[in-house]
């Protein structure tokens, strides 16, 4: 993927319980165990809001099957409650860092558009009504409505 030539910025969660510390290296190991060459995300946002760089943004990610060639992947740590059910577990620091990162990525596009979506927003529209509804989600990741939350960016 050439620099600044992406169509999507996709938000993911690590699908780990709230308050559980998970590092970029932990996610890298999970992805290596799944057969990836390295972590599939370009950025990972830790619980304290630290933004860590995974894959270089000039390299194709491994995060949304069928949409990796023109997609920047951002993953926040969390996404599940203590009972392993989907929940928006973002800390205030993660929310601030995510918005800052999205604004930065958008500024890199120099006027070219990109869509900010959640992983679940790539699910198929099974009833062909033009809306991907919760019963159509292949997965709930990232456990909040990315499109409406970040439409102002």
According to the model, what pLDDT value does residue 2 have?
55
29-56 average pLDDT score = 94
Domains of the chain with CATH codes: 8-149 (3.40.80.10)
DSSP assignment of 8-59 equals: EEEEEE--EETT----HHHHHHHHHHTT-SS-S-SEEE-TT--EEE-S-TTS
- Rounded to whole angstroms, the Cα distance separating 139 from 15 reads 10
Residue positions annotated with a catalytic role: 12, 41, 119, 139, 141
Question: What mean pLDDT do residues 1-19 have?
Answer: 85
Residue with tokens 């599939």: 40
Contacts of 20 (CB under 8 A, 6+ apart): 77, 78
Beta carbons of 24 and 39 less than 8 angstroms apart: yes
> pLDDT at residue 126 above 70?
no
Q: pTM score, two decimals?
A: 0.89
């Amino acid at each position: 993927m050439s620099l600044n030539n992406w169509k999507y910025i996709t938000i993911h969660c690590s699908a780990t319980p709230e308050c559980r510390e998970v590092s970029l290296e932990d996610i890298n190991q999970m992805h290596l165990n799944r057969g990836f060459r390295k972590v599939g995300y370009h950025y990972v946002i830790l619980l304290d809001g630290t933004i860590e760089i995974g894959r270089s943004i000039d390299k194709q990610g491994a995060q949304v099957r069928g949409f990796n060639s023109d997609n920047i992947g951002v993953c926040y740590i969390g996404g599940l409650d203590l009972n392993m059910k989907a929940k928006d577990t973002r800390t205030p620091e993660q929310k601030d860092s995510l918005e800052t990162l999205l604004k930065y990525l958008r500024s890199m596009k120099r006027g070219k558009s990109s869509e900010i979506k959640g992983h679940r927003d790539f699910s198929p529209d099974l009833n062909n009504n033009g809306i991907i509804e919760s019963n159509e989600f292949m997965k709930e990741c990232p456990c909040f409505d990315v499109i409406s939350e970040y439409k102002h960016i």
